[in-house]
Structure 1
Amino acid sequence: MKVEIEPNLFIESDTHGYQVVKYTGYRFDKKLNRDVETYNVLANFQTVKGCAKWISLSLKVKESTAATLKELVQDVKRIEKYIENKINF
């Protein structure tokens, strides 16, 4: 599974669980003699919901302009909804 949350940010799965992955571009691999995509695994989880919560709290909340705790809680809920809609729980 590979679900795009926003440009260059994905939730991916493997046999061990789910990862939040950010793709960073390409680099030339001399052994393969071609460009390969580069990425960073930002976090690992056992569930997709764990990925969604991490994305909302760790990445998206940083963009919040909340001035009060109430506004911050509203932003977190809005962001969680956004992520859930992207991955269709």
Structure 2
Amino acid sequence: MFIHGVTRTLRKNKTLRYGVPMLLLIVGGSFGLREFSQIRYDAVKTKPKMKKSSGEIVCYGQMFEKSPWVKNFVIWLRYDSRSSTHSIYKK
């Protein structure tokens, strides 16, 4: 019964429905911004080397560590050049 009351309140109150998630994104987003921007920079740096038909993202995932405050993300991609196939693994 308690859960139904809470969800009903969240659905009706616009401040709680839209304001709280936005506040969480603003506060929590600043912690992962540095790691995400580094991964984005590495991915964009390798993009000119790849053709759309020859490249594929093999794996994109989150590495789980003991500390919940540090988030590590991984991009693993593979692309074909004129000479051979290249794999890139970035943390």
Q: TM-score, normalised by structure 1?
A: 0.22
Whichever structure has more strand as a proportion of its residues is 1
TM value normalised by structure 2:
0.22
More helix by share: 2
Structure with bigger gyration radius:
2
